[in-house]
Structures are given as C-alpha cells and as structure tokens.
Structure 1
Amino acid sequence: MSSKVVAKVSLSDLQGPDVPPVASITDVKYLSSYNWIESPKPTIAVPGSPPLWAAPKLPQRVNKDSGLIYIAQNAARHPDSPLEPLFRAIYVTDPSFDIRPIDIVTDRNNIRKLLSFVDPTVARNGLEEFTINIEVTKNTAIFSRDETETQDIIGPNEFKGFGHEFEKACTINKIVGSTGHHRIISYRFGGLNVIVRHETDGYVGATAGPSSSARKAQSPSDLTSVFDSLSLSPTNTNLGTTTKGSKLIVQRDGQAVPLSSTLEIKTRVSHKPLEIREVAAQIWVSQTPKLVRAYHQRGVFKVPTVEDITPQIKKWEQDKQVHLRKLALLMRRIVNVVKNCRESVTLRYDRRENKLILTEVPRKKMLPQDLYLKWDDASYTRTAAGAGVKQEVKA
C-alpha cells in the first residue's frame, strides 16, 4: 500500500460550534517516571529521580556547554521504540493500569508543536515545519516525535550557551549513571484523556516532613511520594530485566518525587530578562510548578532563586483560551482522522500550504507486541452500577 493524503487542516477549519467552550488542563496525575542510564544497551531506572536542586549561595562561573547534547534522548537511546520506556515505566509503577480510556499518548514536544500551529507566538523561532508520527490502537492515538537529529555535538569552538553546564553545577544527580529524567503524567484537556511524557530538570527537596494535619489529609500514595522524596541514598535494587521481544532493560531504582516539587531551569544573559510568556507553553503542557530563571554575564551567574509560577501559568491559560480551544479541537480532529485509517499516519506541517497534512503510511509498529495486549486485557473489570456484578469493559 502506498502513502495517501487522508486530511488537510488549516487554521480556518478550527472554528465553529465544535470548538469547546473551555480548554483547560484538569485532573493532573503522576503516573510514573524513569531515568536513562549510560549503558551499552538501552537501560532505564524506574521510578528514577530528577536531580536535586542545590545551587550555591554565591555567584559562580560556569563553563560553556560542550560535547554531547540530546535533542530527543528517547529516540537517540532506543530508536527501535522511543515510546516503549513510557509504557514500561507505567506498568512497573502500576501493573493494573488501564490504558483503554486514554485518547492520546504523547511527548510534551508534540503538543507544543501543535500549539505553535494554532499560535505561532508561543514558539521561540515562530512556526517551523515539523512531523509527528501517529498510530492508533483501539481508541488510543499514540503520537511519536519525528526529529531530523536526535542529538548534537557541541565542538570546542562552538558556543550554544551555558544551560547544560549550569544545571550540572546547581543540581545533585540522585541516580548513578543518569543522563536524563523523564516523567509521565495524565490529565484531562478539551474533553480528552491525555498521557504526556516530558523531561524534568530537577526538583526541590523537602525541608521538613508534613504536619500531622497534612498527614491525615494525604492518601497513602501521597505519603509514599513525600517520604520517598526525603530519602538521601537511592540504591539500585534490581540489575535489570527485559521482556521477550524487547531490547530495553528496566531497573528498579530511585524514589518517586511529587509533581509539586519539580522545576524547569532556564538560563539567560542578564540584560535580556526572561518573561513568563516565553516559557509558559512548555511549562503549561507538563504542568511543572516551579521555575528557575538564572541570569549571567559572560558565564558568571548571579545567585538563582526558585519561583512558584503556578498562578502565572494559570493566568496564561486563561488569557490563551482562544488558541487553547482551537488546540483542543485540533487534537480531537486528528484523533478522529487517524481512527478511521488502516495504517499509521504521518502528520506534517507544510509551510508552503500553511496546513497540517495527514498522510496514511505503512510503517512498522511503534511498540513491542506484548504492550498491545494491554488494550485487550480482560482482567480489567468494573462493578456494574447498582448490581454488584462484575463485567468486562469492552474495548
């Protein structure tokens, strides 16, 4: 079967009665997390841990970034199935997780690209051409990043800022051999159940345990996150396991860190203040509550502070409702299109036409075969309303 165009979407299509009245993120839940481990074979540690924020109390000089930089680490380390670590981590954390009510599984980057189509002002360099590969299983659309390059090498004579070196200087790695921490959350947006994977720069450690009243209010899972985040000595409790048909090695290591502790780190020269609107889209998609805006003069950084920017991001969401409602409609339409296709779909932004072009393309499956069985697992049951009888939920 050759490829064929199945739909084209322009901005003018994203209007009318189908646009939802409100498009906000609700019901945010942490599902799982993992760290990539430096190893000859693709290896992740679950739940892993972000680096701990530990900035010095005095100004410091930081070297410029150099060497290997990941653009899309999941694809760079596991090109056979960049999305497999997301699913493996979820099922290690919760073996009974029911994937079937989920409408979209995606990386944060894909939602940011779709938002840039609706509102080019949210992208740093404006709207650029991009590609997203999409596959449907039952009622779930899986969005996979498609990048020209998955990593970069910064040469000794190149200058691309201080961001990575600053992160190293101001955080403590909690997982031996870690090369990056990824988190997986779920939420409701525009009538859709969405799972989002994103990289996290760090977290703020708890300075004290919860009060007795807070302990009473917290669920057991919340308490686990709090107590785990207080642990200072993560240890590797598993040399790693693999699943038949997969090359990915999964270790159990680290502690779950609550979403409320996570942060994003941004660096900038002192004479160019970083405004919230420049980073709001990225932070909104992942619902990261904290931000560090680190300013420097020729690599000498002032003492940075951690800001809770939840109110600013909420206001940004309110101010951007016109665009976010269109984003919600766009995501729904994409899901509806791909559900009616027999093959996988490539979504591509064509600058010349200024449209999103969806093309049906034969492609190898995105996940190992055993993971697709999660959509057919008859062990998931619900209690029939008012009857007290268990019945299977049909996919």
Structure 2
Amino acid sequence: MSDLKTTSEGVEEISRLDLASFAPAEAIITDVKHLASYNWIEASTPTIAVPGCPAQWSAPPGPRQVNKDSGLVYIAQNAARHPDSPLEPLFRSLYLENPSFDIKSIDVVTDRNNIRKLLSFVKPTLNKNDLESFTIQVDMTAETAIFSRKDTATSEFIGSDEFRGFGHEFEKAYTINQVKESTGHHRIISYRLGGLSFLVRHETDGYVRDSKSSVMDAELTGDNLADILNSLSLTPETTSIDEPSSKSKLTIKREGRTVSRESTLEIKTRVFHKSLKLTEVAAQLWISQTPKLVRAYHRRGIFPTPKVEDVTAALKVWEKVHQDAITKLVALIKCILRVTRKWGGSSTIRYDPLKDKVVVKKVERKKILPEDLYSRWESHIPADVTQNTSATYPG
C-alpha cells in the first residue's frame, strides 16, 4: 500500500492515479449464480417473504394513460424497513435457501448501489449527474468485507403538487404482483470479477414469463387446469413464519417461488423526445447481470405498448469497451480490501469531492449484522447437512 497516501494512522486516501498500477490486465464477470431472493411485505414489523417473487411483466395492449408518481417512494427500502440491520435480510434469505453456503469464500458482500458509486468515482463520465459525495460502511469479518449503504434519506414523499415522472406508477400499471402485500423484490447473486468473489444484492423490477410457461398456458384445458394451477401456487396453504433468532426483529415468511435470473428485467421510463441510451443504464444492469430492459416512452403520461429487450449481448460489448474503468474499479476495491483487512473491524469509505479522492478511515461503531450471523465465518456448515428449508437458520 506504499503507493497510497497515508495521511494519519487509520486513514488512507486513494486517488484515480493510484489505481493504474493495481489494475489487472482484464476484468470480466464470470461464474454468475443466483443464490437467494426475498420480497419486503407491508407489515407493522420488518417482514420478508422468501424466496418471494418479482412482479410479472404484463403490458396491456395499446396506449395507456398512467398517473404521475406520488406518495411514499423508497430510495433504500432495506434501510427504511429494517434500519437496525439493512443487510440482515440478505443473509437470512441466503442461508434459508442455501444452508451450506460457505460465506468465507466471498471477498465482498455488497448492494449493487455501492459498486455503482465506486465505479462512478473511477469514471465520472459513466454517471449522468455530477459526482457527489458518498459514504459506504465496511465491516471486516475474517477476510470478507461487508459493504453497507449509508444514505442520507431512505425514502421520500412525493406531494400531489410535485412532478417526479411516471416510473413507479408505470411499474404498478404494467406488472402484476405475485406476492401479497409485496413492496419490492430483492435478489442475491454471486460472481467472480478480476480475481475477487462478490455477493451482490439488488432490486428487480419484474420478470417475463418464459416460452415454456406460455406454451403450457396455451395447452391447458378442462380438469388439468386446476391441478396445474395448484402446483404453481405462489403461496403455500400454510405459510410458516420463522424467527431467525431471539435477538432479531426480522420476521420471515416462506412464500413465493424462484424465477430464473435470465427472465428478470429493469424498467425505465422517459418522455418520448429524450431517448434513453443503453450506455446510461448499462453499468447498473451489468453489476446485477440483469439481462432484460424495458424502455418505455410517454407523451404526457400516455405510454404506447413498450417492448422487452434482451440486452445480454450488448452488456458483454459494454464490458469489453469499458475495460479501462472496470479494471480500475477492481483495483480500487482491492486497495480498499488491503487497508480494511489490515485494520480489521469497522471502517468507512467516503468520497470527498473537494479532494476528489476516496478516503478510507478506521472507525468504532456498532456491528452491521446481528451477532448470531458472524458465527458463519467461524465454522463452515458441511455440504451433507440436510437441506431442510422449513428449519430456522443453522449457525
């Protein structure tokens, strides 16, 4: 770390110029795996449904008038609904769906938003707005860095006299909720990038039914319709509610069904005379490996039927074109890991616009996760453990 500037004990500064010497020759996302998912449920206490299910894309034929966005909208729903530990749902759903998952194999656990912020520092031109200050909290456990979002606001209320576009209302009009009282679907994936292993959580706007489902629906007749619909039921007849630990305030329902990553999509709305270029959203889709995109254009809130695009190939091209930025992103994360692993405990990553540098600082604070989850780093659950999904959480 001698290339980095140590301003005082427990403080390191990283500039963009530092990154070139640390950057690998190539950094391509590989070994993408879907691991877990959940939905937030509207309830009086923090409640998630595992595995949950994204809303199903269901575009009505012809043009449709959509109301403008209003009321409560979430900026960071995990923090808004569970401020005690915004990352706890990630780990609870992960261990419920993968009881033997070896968390020690992961270098970085993070929300997509944190990687977007670090990438925007590395290459500000990828950000449509000016690069603003940001803070990411880090907890180092064994060799794993847990990155936690630190937002100034986790939700906002849009008044009836304000205009913030049509995005949220468009989603309500063009998708069908698959889990009762759902307020958002989150997914956890893993992949490798530049020699590092990542566990990434992100929100998904919806999914499209695959061709197999469409063919099956078309073939349904008579008596077998009820049988097949019952077998596809999203909600078990008796939904169990598991308490992860006596110290946790999070309630978990077993509800929903897993849909493939290949069917997930991101929805973007825009006024008709301002075309949305893929480069404006490519970084977001690339980080979460979201393969489908809906670009919906409107005239005064009237949307013609939009199409679902498969952008998988375009994202691979974007990844190749932006290797300079991506390899430096890897270099930045490796620099952060070297510092935080050396210190252990808690740190903060802060972008200082005045210095135009990332400042990593050792701090003292409450741990990011409930205490029982840290035992997962101490002993790996063997693979022959019974995959009992109705059980609570091992470890």
Q: Scaled by the length of structure 2, what TM-score is found?
A: 0.89
Alignment of 1:323-362 (within 5 A): 323-362=325-364
In structure 1, what is the equivalent of residue 232 of structure 2? 231
CA shift at 1:157, angstroms?
A: 0.3
Match of 1:188, SS state, is strand
> Which of 24, 29, 35 lines up with 2:39 in the alignment?
35
**Contact 1:131-1:146 at 8 Å conserved across structures:** yes
From 134, 137, 160, give the equivalent of 2:138. Answer: 134
1:86 aligns with 2:90: yes
Distance 1:158 1:236, change over 3 A: farther
**What's the offset of the Cα at 1:340?**
1.1
242-251 or 265-274: bigger deviation: 242-251
CA apart distance, 1:124: 2.4
Q: How does 1:1-395 map to 2 (within 5 A)?
A: 5-16=10-21, 18-208=22-212, 231=232, 233-235=234-236, 237-242=238-243, 243-380=245-382
Contact 1:35 1:180 in 2 (8 A): yes
**Residue aligned with 2:343, SS:** coil
Tell me, yes or no, if the aligned pair for 2:234 and 2:257 is still in contact at 8 Å.
Answer: no
Task: Call closer, same or farther: CA 1:309–1:41 in 2, change over 3 Å.
Answer: same
**Aligned-partner Cα distance in 2 for 1:11–1:206:** 43
2:77 and 2:155 in contact (8 A); partners too? yes
Equivalent residue number for residue 389 of structure 1: none
Shift of 1:210: 11
Contact persistence 2:100–2:383 (CA under 8 A): no
Q: Secondary structure at the match of 2:347?
A: strand
Kindly state the Cα deviation for residue 305 of structure 1 after the two structures are TM-superposed: 0.4
Contact 1:237 1:253 survives alignment (8 Å): no
Give the letter aligned to residue 266 of structure 2. Answer: E
Q: Distance in 2 between matches of 1:302 and 1:342?
A: 53
When residues 327 and 210 of structure 1 are mapped into structure 2, their CA distance, relative to the original with a 3 A threshold, is: same
Per the alignment, residue 3 of structure 2 pairs with none
Contact 1:54 1:170 in 2 (8 A): yes
User: Given residue 53 of structure 2, which amino acid in structure 1 is its aligned partner?
Assistant: S
Amino acid across the alignment from 2:128? R
In 2, the alpha carbon distance for the partners of 1:51 and 1:254 equals 11
In structure 2, the partner of 1:215 is none
Q: What one-letter code is carried by the residue in structure 2 that aligns with 1:8?
A: E
CA change 1:173–1:147 in 2 (3 A) is same
CA distance in 2, matches of 1:25, 1:131: 25
What are the Cα deviations for residues 366-389 of structure 1, in whole angstroms up to 9, with x where unaligned?
A: 11111100011254379xxxxxxx
Matched residue count: 363
Could you tell me whether the CA contact under 8 Å between 1:236 and 1:252 is conserved in 2? Answer: no
Query: Per-residue displacement from partner, 1:126-149 (whole Å, max 9, x unpaired)?
Result: 311100000000010000000000
Where does structure 1 lack aligned partners over 5 or more consecutive residues?
212-226, 383-395
Please list every run of 5 or more consecutive structure 2 residues that lacks an aligned counterpart in the other structure.
Answer: 1-7, 216-227, 385-395
Cα deviation for residue 86 of structure 1 reads 0.1
2:73 partner SS: strand
Separation of aligned partners in 2, 1:381 and 1:303: 47
143 and 237 in structure 1: CA distance in 2 versus 1, 3 angstrom threshold: farther
* Displacement after TM superposition at 1:6 (Å): 2.1
Q: Are the equivalent residues in 2 in contact too, given 1:343–1:363 (CA < 8 A)?
A: no
Question: 1:112·1:282 contact (CA, 8 Å) conserved in 2?
Answer: yes
Q: Which amino acid in structure 2 is aligned with residue 241 of structure 1?
A: D
Shift of residue 121, structure 1, vs aligned partner: 1.4
Q: Would the aligned equivalents of 1:265 and 1:293 in 2 still touch at CA under 8 Å? A: yes
Change (3 A) 1:288 1:379: closer
Return the alpha-carbon distance in structure 2 between the equivalents of residues 320 and 126 of structure 1.
19
1:233 & 1:138 partners in 2: Cα distance? Answer: 38
For the aligned residue pairs, the C-alpha RMSD in angstroms reads: 1.9
